[in-house]
Amino acid sequence: MKKVDLSFQSCKSEYKDSDVVIFSAPLDLTTSFRPGTRFAGNHIRIDSVGIEWYSPYQDKSLKDYNTCDIGDLEMPLGDLEGALDVIYKTTKKIIEDKKTPLMIGGEHLVTYPAVKALIEEYKNLHIIHLDAHTDLRDEFLGMKLSHATVLRRLYDLGAKIYSFGIRSGDKHEFEWAKEHIYLRKFDLETLDEKVNLLKDKPVYITIDLDVLDPGVFPGTGTPEPGGIQFKELLQALELFRNLNNIVGADIVELNPLLDSSGASTMAAIKALRELILLLHK
Amino acid sequence: MKKVDLSFQSCKSEYKDSDVVIFSAPLDLTTSFRPGTRFAGNHIRIDSVGIEWYSPYQDKSLKDYNTCDIGDLEMPLGDLEGALDVIYKTTKKIIEDKKTPLMIGGEHLVTYPAVKALIEEYKNLHIIHLDAHTDLRDEFLGMKLSHATVLRRLYDLGAKIYSFGIRSGDKHEFEWAKEHIYLRKFDLETLDEKVNLLKDKPVYITIDLDVLDPGVFPGTGTPEPGGIQFKELLQALELFRNLNNIVGADIVELNPLLDSSGASTMAAIKALRELILLLHK
Amino acid sequence: MKKVDLSFQSCKSEYKDSDVVIFSAPLDLTTSFRPGTRFAGNHIRIDSVGIEWYSPYQDKSLKDYNTCDIGDLEMPLGDLEGALDVIYKTTKKIIEDKKTPLMIGGEHLVTYPAVKALIEEYKNLHIIHLDAHTDLRDEFLGMKLSHATVLRRLYDLGAKIYSFGIRSGDKHEFEWAKEHIYLRKFDLETLDEKVNLLKDKPVYITIDLDVLDPGVFPGTGTPEPGGIQFKELLQALELFRNLNNIVGADIVELNPLLDSSGASTMAAIKALRELILLLHK
Amino acid sequence: MKKVDLSFQSCKSEYKDSDVVIFSAPLDLTTSFRPGTRFAGNHIRIDSVGIEWYSPYQDKSLKDYNTCDIGDLEMPLGDLEGALDVIYKTTKKIIEDKKTPLMIGGEHLVTYPAVKALIEEYKNLHIIHLDAHTDLRDEFLGMKLSHATVLRRLYDLGAKIYSFGIRSGDKHEFEWAKEHIYLRKFDLETLDEKVNLLKDKPVYITIDLDVLDPGVFPGTGTPEPGGIQFKELLQALELFRNLNNIVGADIVELNPLLDSSGASTMAAIKALRELILLLHK
Amino acid sequence: MKKVDLSFQSCKSEYKDSDVVIFSAPLDLTTSFRPGTRFAGNHIRIDSVGIEWYSPYQDKSLKDYNTCDIGDLEMPLGDLEGALDVIYKTTKKIIEDKKTPLMIGGEHLVTYPAVKALIEEYKNLHIIHLDAHTDLRDEFLGMKLSHATVLRRLYDLGAKIYSFGIRSGDKHEFEWAKEHIYLRKFDLETLDEKVNLLKDKPVYITIDLDVLDPGVFPGTGTPEPGGIQFKELLQALELFRNLNNIVGADIVELNPLLDSSGASTMAAIKALRELILLLHK
Amino acid sequence: MKKVDLSFQSCKSEYKDSDVVIFSAPLDLTTSFRPGTRFAGNHIRIDSVGIEWYSPYQDKSLKDYNTCDIGDLEMPLGDLEGALDVIYKTTKKIIEDKKTPLMIGGEHLVTYPAVKALIEEYKNLHIIHLDAHTDLRDEFLGMKLSHATVLRRLYDLGAKIYSFGIRSGDKHEFEWAKEHIYLRKFDLETLDEKVNLLKDKPVYITIDLDVLDPGVFPGTGTPEPGGIQFKELLQALELFRNLNNIVGADIVELNPLLDSSGASTMAAIKALRELILLLHK
């Protein structure tokens, strides 16, 4: 007679026994169009019974690894800085305990405090970033910390950025990108080269799921037509197996309020399973 | 750093410390129209953050009581008898441990094994039954055990039945009812009298949420127009405060697949909160 | 091995053997807000398995009567006059064959050709009309024949009109009504008196389902808040048992495209079952 | 060849010619459960073609009055104080121009800056408040300004509060209410008395549409079962005709993301039409 | 004045005159995630007016062939073996009458009794199987007969299996497959070769529509991201024109409860039209 | 304090200052399956805040051009010829004022009056037509003017037709096409050649958005599986940059009633942004 356990799929290990720790960050405060990503974590959890624990892509099974799911972080809802601090401290603690963090957003801004914690440990941190949007504004609607500025803030932290699939942004963002980061427009080409380059570097992977075409992933606040297919995302995930030092990862921007069929939630679930298996080297 | 806890609202006590034990029975095998009630338990859990723990109706708060939520029972999905047996044994164990069971369906058939366990303890068990449907067929589509026969089976177990709100059934069910049980058609009138009568008797309360009008509760497999308002259900719940010996209860037939706005789920959540507080005398 | 039969519930008699004939008129050409009522007939048919054939309100069963369902009329879709003519001729034929017509709309304009056929047989025809809207404009958007003018056209045909539940219309419609027809605003009060008055007169019943509150019946093109409950509609249907000469009836304005839960469709189905049983004296 | 005009229904006057000014405040930053009310204003605008300009309740027509709709306010999205200031200044300007403000939320917090502007003009301001929730917390999740504290903040500003329909809140809120404001639980009884009392006082009306039962109004972030019917809201609006000095009003908490049938949006539209006509004495 | 005929598109021949016979099997008893496929047949029927009877892919028209649609089989709902027996007997009868069966599921388990009947006639039966899932478990949740074991059961019957598009299953299923059947992971490559090989063999085609990517086909109980495009399915169907002896076919796993836009239903309808034309050699 | 301005994205110029004029034609009278395209214009307007004004495809920004949005045309709803005449006259006026018209449908028939006005100015008009359907019937359901005949009518006006992506129609339409127009089945191949051919000719572009696969664009009345991806549409739009004389354009057949996630509306918005930028040479 044990308390209900709604951990992601078969990731039911205790924290102390785990190598990978899943948490969700229910934040969508700076969302400019349709909010709701705060509900992603728990919808992913309860629908994760709909997927197998075995991946035929990696020939690995969730059952063979120790993963803990600590659930939604408790965050002061209206207090942006307070909320980001909770994510920062959680990530910090996980790293200190020699475990790998895997975060479910929330809006994309959640990546900022996670990377902030990681870069203190890994000075030479590289970011592989899949997204529809540049997220490179210096400020957005008067705010320095926003889903639309998050990659710029990661750059400010000293991370090296490699963006792929980008098809939306303001003109000056694309121009700024040319001089400061690597940015691949529209698709994932050259990802193989860059993965090869980063083979032994510490790498953080952040996947804004709206990099997928809205046909595949309608359940997101700001769908941007013309994206990649799920098979292309799977190929990217396969490429990541060549990275020897992935120090953390996240998937962000699933909005369950906009996913009446549940298919977008399942896309997030499958991406998450593959990421978990990737993180368990 | 603890594992995710998605217990209903603030019902986060451990089993051993609890007086009331919530569990959900994800069964919808005999559903004849639109299935999906198997998902009710977890949808109720994750949306229960949207309700206050304090009830202004009973002037009581969930925070002041020890309640444990053990989640969805693990049931052999395609095996009806096996599934019912899991419910029976779980209920049995809870009673033996001197706790009160509170079940979330699933289809209405889940009430059968729960009552079967209870009646072994309380020979003189009375059932208060709110529902749109008679559920009194002797068999349905060739089956003795079905959502459409469940009240008949409770009668066979020896329970005394008091049905209210009934507005759908076959002619012979209504005729059989006249001779064997108490059945109030269309509304909840006379419920006060019957509650008074059962004041000190052991009573089990089973609420098929489709007793509510589909305007109030569209998220159910077999909506039956012409039902009661939620305020009438609240009045019934207030009446139940006069029962001194409620030995268990359930709510059944929420189908989250048919609840795009989430309002039906919230109706179930509010009814559940009131029931929990009722069970904590 | 017979062809698929998707007749309404158990109304599976052949035309020649039937006393009541159901047909649906898939017309929504003059709808001014959200179209889609053309799909009502077939959605009602396929969901009608979700209701019992027995009515505890009338203590009668569909199984005990001969009813034929001839399905959607084939209508020249873009040709309004042609479409209305198909309805007229179908109704005419049914009357000539000494059967009672029961029509499923479509938009409310479908009532016009049906009444036109009936009034040729019953000069002294009275209309009982439940609706949210007056539908009494003399013309609408330049058209004489429109969902918004249909009751005015019935008046022009010579029918006596008794409208109930009306809560929307232009000022001049309410003023015209005072001098030409009986119109009860907002609710069904006085329906009992009027039914008594029309006891032995030939009566046609037309139920625009948007007379129901949108809480109960959201699945309609022009929801008008502040309507009646389904129980009130059931009470009206019970009153109609005092009418000794109902010569036809219809229900209109269900829009299945706006009924994601199916609850509005079920409301139409239940109203239809009661009407069928009423027509079988 | 004029630019698109999507003003509410027939409220197409220029600002300078108008007596009543509609604006919408697309704010849902402090929403704790399901956000999306920021979209209410424009959804109300585009669906307002689905309602008549004439009200049979008040026997008045929107066409006979000059009303201007200035649309969504432009607000710094992530900056709560900045956003509230925009509402404050807009309301202030409207009052200074001797016009009456009518606001569409957004979350309920938008009422705070509007009342702040009004109370500078009307020291003796009274608030009639229809809502499911107390909104009387002193702070919520660490914030003084929140949808859950808004009525408490209005009290702090010096307004006299009369709350009706309240059925959710924390225990201490109900207790605080007893000593500081008038609060009617569960329904609108005594509203007539209070309206009589406030007959000649300056009154601001704030309607949180979730005072309606979720059956009637599912399209809201935090549905609370057991609310009032739309007819009861209409009766309240009729009572308000006895108020001789309504100085402003708002409706809040429609969430179009949760309103797949459009019926909740139409409820907001009808309430808004009645309020506009009320404000035009 | 004939009874309603809701046969698929223009497939309105009588049974005795037909070469191909369509039926639907409303079974979803063993579905482990989201049930509802039982409604596929009738939703396909009523929406089939939305497709042309002419196929520009095959340059053939439904109007030029005699096809009968006998509708949903009547099955004892809760009785799995009884239900399967109805499918078996129906298929048997159709074969005996020298007609070709074309079945609409229902869950994938419906394929078992159909193939059982066919293999009695065609000892040397080959199965072409398009699916996201292996369906090769020996038992699932304790059951031998399940949607998750159906291909294994077909193997047990003696059929030769050729699976394509498979991207989900347990590890041991993939391993078993290597030794006992032909299984192509992830896509349809090599289908041309295999079709060539089976050119003159008796072939049964079973299409689990979840082989399609959930972007294309969200309306299914267990969506599995990373599937094929509809154009690839069309190419497969074109390849099947090289098969000279197709003895039956089915499409399964459409769940209309999860298809709010109707696009998945239309995908099933188009696949069905192409299959009908394929079966009419 | 200006009236609400819900012009498309940043297209807020006055008519007299604009080079391109957007209008929407809310017509869906001849729609044979699921109507609702009349709502496309305003849904596109209010959701257009969700897209950037800068196009990384064309490296151009809406902000750098003068575009006016005059909104929904006021059309006599039930009067087909009257409605078409409004479109004709509006287009005529725009051309006379030396501006370029850009129309949002409505159903595809709206293209007819627009082209009629344009061909009076550009005798040698060529039409590039992307669509799933031929639309080449000579009449449909007895009507000469219909969504299903519109391209045939354009041919009758003297326009030269180049159709791409066509995958649905009756056999005789495909045969007629072979002799009278250019028609590319199933995809957009050869579009580059044809664009090259039409380089300096006056060209009108009409995009029926159902040319997209329903996976990408489910929000349309008659989805036709097997269409193009959004990236292919973007490539077509890039090709159109080689056209030196685009004299007008339209996008048609978005049905917001069928777009619960909003992703189809966003596809229309993005296509529209690209078209606006194309028209501003």
pTM: 0.97
F217 close to F264: Cβ distance less than 8 angstroms: yes
Q: What is the CA radius of gyration of chain F?
A: 17
Using CA coordinates, name the residue in chain D closest to A142.
D76
Tokens for F116, please give them. Answer: 């009629």
Residues of E in contact with C14 (CB under 8 A): 3
Looking at residue F32, what is its pLDDT? 86
Residue B78 above 80 pLDDT?
no
Residue identified by tokens 């991201």 is E225
Q: Return the residue of E nearest to A59 by Cα.
A: E171
Task: Give the confidence band of D141 by pLDDT, cuts at 50, 70, 90.
Answer: confident
Average confidence (pLDDT) over D176-204: 98
CB D15 within 8 A of CB D68: yes
A272: which DSSP letter? Answer: H
Residue B71 pLDDT more than 80?
yes
Question: pLDDT class for B32, splitting at 50, 70, 90?
Answer: confident
Which residue stretches of chain F have pLDDT < 70? 77
**Six-digit token pair at D69?**
């709709």
Task: List, in sequence order, the alpha helices (H) in chain E.
Answer: 40-47, 80-96, 111-121, 150-156, 171-180, 191-197, 230-239, 263-279
Residue found by looking up tokens 């040479």 in the block: F281
CATH of domain F15-279: 3.40.800.10
Residue extents of the structural domains in chain B: 15-279
Q: What percent of chain D has pLDDT over 70?
A: 100
Structure tokens at B112: 């059968």
Extract the tokens encoding F204: 């009108």
- Taking contacts as CB-CB distances below 8 angstroms, the residues of chain F near A224 are 51, 266, 270
Q: Are strands B203-208 and B126-130 parallel, antiparallel or unpaired?
A: parallel
Nearest CA to A49 out of A36, A62, A66 is that of: A62
Contact D87, D110 (CB under 8 A): yes
Nearest C-alpha neighbor of C95 from the set C205, C20, C185, C193: C20
Q: What is the pLDDT of residue B141?
A: 81
Alpha-helix residue ranges (DSSP H) falling in D132-253: 150-157, 171-180, 191-197, 230-239
The CA–CA distances, whole Å, from E222 to D237, E133, F259 equal 49, 9, 22
- State how far the Cα of A225 lies from the Cα of F265, in Å rounded to an integer: 10
Q: Record the tokens describing residue F70, joined without a space.
A: 């005059």
| Cβ-based contacts of D56 with chain C (< 8 Å) | 166-169, 174, 185-186
Chain C partners of E45 at a C-beta cutoff of 8 Å? Answer: 4, 6, 46
Closest CA of chain F from A258, distance in Å: 5
Q: Which chain A residues contact residue E167 at CB under 8 A?
A: 56-57
D244 touches D198 (CB < 8 A): no
DSSP string, A44-59: HHHHGGGS-SEETTTT
pLDDT tens for each residue of A196-241: 999 999 999 999 999 999 999 999 999 999 999 999 999 999 999 9
Q: Please report where in the chains the tokens 């966003």 appear, as a residue.
A: F266
Largest Cα–Cα separation, chain B: 59
Q: How far is C227 from chain D (nearest CA, A)?
A: 7
Look at F225 and E54 and tell me if their CB atoms are within 8 Å: no
Count CB atoms within 10 A of the CB of residue C60.
19
Interface residues from chain D to F (CB-CB < 8 Å): 1-7, 12, 14-15, 21, 39, 42-43, 45-46, 68-72, 93-94, 97, 260
Q: Which residues of chain F approach chain D closer than 8 Å at the C-beta?
A: 1-7, 12, 14-15, 21, 39, 42-43, 45-46, 68-72, 93-94, 97, 260
Q: Give the N- to C-terminal CA distance of chain F in Å, as an integer.
A: 34
pLDDT bracket for residue C142 (50, 70, 90): confident
Length of chain B: 281
pLDDT, tens digit, 9 for 90 and up, residues D269-281:
999 999 999 999 8
- Measured between CA atoms, the residue of chain B closest to residue E74 is B141
CB-side neighbour CA atoms (13 Å) of E127: 31
What is chain D's Cα-based Rg? 17
Q: What is the pLDDT of residue A273?
A: 98
Given an 8 Å threshold on Cβ–Cβ distance, is C7 in contact with E2? no
Chain-centroid distance of CA E118 in Å reads: 14
Q: What integer pLDDT is reported at residue B89 of this predicted model?
A: 98
Rounded CA-CA distance A119/A115 in Å is 6
Q: Is the pLDDT of residue D78 over 80?
A: no
Nearest-CA distance from A227 to chain B in Å? Answer: 27
3-state secondary structure of C132: coil
Q: How far is D215 from chain A (nearest CA, A)?
A: 19
- Residue A281 banded pLDDT, cuts 50, 70, 90: confident
Tokens representing residue E90 in the block? 């129906």
Alpha-carbon dihedral angle through residues F2, F5, F9, F13, given to the nearest 10 degrees? -70
| Chain C environment of D266 (Cβ under 8 Å) | 214, 223-225
pLDDT at residue number C252:
98
In this complex, how many residue pairs, one in chain A and one in chain B, have their CB atoms less than 8 Å apart? 71
Residue A77 has pLDDT above 90, yes or no: no
Chains that touch D (3 or more CB pairs under 8 A): A, B, C, F
For D12-51, the pLDDT digits (tens) are 999 999 999 999 999 999 888 999 999 999 999 999 999 9
Closest CA to D265 of C262, F43, C188, E260: F43
pLDDT bracket for residue A19 (50, 70, 90)? very high
Identify the pLDDT of residue D32: 86
C77, C107, C146, C149: best mutation site toward chain F, by most F Cβ within 10 Å?
C77
Which residues of chain D make contact with A140, given a CB cutoff of 8 A? Answer: 78
Question: In the numeric block, which tokens belong to residue D196?
Answer: 């009589």
ipTM entry = 0.95
Mean pLDDT, rounded, for A169-187: 98
Q: Do residue E213 and residue A217 have CB atoms under 8 angstroms apart? A: no
- Best mutation site among B64, B231, B269 for testing chain D: the one with the most D CBs within 10 Å? B231
Q: How is D221-233 classified by DSSP, letter by letter?
A: SS--SS-B-HHHH
Q: Which of the residue ranges A14-23, A78-87, B146-155, C174-183 would you say has the lowest mean pLDDT?
A: A78-87
Query: Judging by DSSP bridges, how do beta strands C54-55 and C60-61 pair with one another?
Result: antiparallel
> Can you tell me the distance from the alpha carbon of D1 to that of F90, in angstroms, rounded to the nearest whole number?
9
Distance (Å) from the C-alpha of residue A61 to the closest C-alpha of chain B?
Answer: 21
Q: What single DSSP character describes residue B222?
A: S
* C-chain residue closest to E262, CA distance: C257
Q: What is the mean pLDDT of residues D233-254?
A: 98
Which residue of chain B comes nearest to C231, CA vs CA?
B226
- Specify the range with the lowest mean pLDDT, choosing from B265-279, C248-262, E131-145, F249-263: E131-145
Q: How far is A12 from chain B (nearest CA, A)?
A: 8
The beta-carbon neighbor of E142 closest among B29, B38, B79 is B79
The DSSP element (H or E) to which D111 belongs, if any, is helix D111-121
pLDDT at E83: 94
Q: In Å, how far is A280's CA from the nearest CA of chain E? A: 18
Alpha helices by DSSP H, listed for F97-206, are 111-121, 150-156, 171-180, 191-197
Q: At residue E171, does pLDDT exceed 90?
A: yes
Written as one letter, the residue type at E6 is L
pLDDT at E78 over 90: no
| % of chain C exceeding 70 in pLDDT | 100
Q: What is the pLDDT of residues A100-159, one digit of tens each?
A: 999 999 999 999 999 999 999 999 999 999 999 999 999 988 889 999 999 999 999 999
Query: Which pair of structure tokens corresponds to residue F107?
Result: 């159903």
Element holding B118 (H helix, E strand): helix B111-121
Nearest C-alpha neighbor of E7 from the set E37, E42, E39, E40? E42
Q: What is the pLDDT of residue B76?
A: 81
Say whether pLDDT at B143 is over 90. Answer: no
D123 token code pair: 């020291």
In this predicted structure, what is the pLDDT of residue F142?
81
Instruction: Determine whether the interchain pair F43/D42 forms a contact, defined as Cβ–Cβ distance below 8 Å.
Output: no
Residues of D in contact with B266 (CB under 8 A): 214, 223-225
Interface residues on B facing D, Cβ-Cβ cutoff 8 A: 49-52, 54, 56, 59, 61, 213, 215-217, 229-231, 234, 260-263, 266-267, 270-271
Q: Across the interface, do D263 and C223 touch by the CB < 8 Å criterion?
A: yes
What does the pLDDT read at residue F93? Answer: 98
Q: Chain E: residue nearest F217 by CA?
A: E263
Question: How many angstroms away from the CA of F37 is the closest CA of chain C?
Answer: 10
Interface test with chain D among F3, F47, F90, by most D beta carbons within 10 Å: F3
| pLDDT at res. D213 | 98
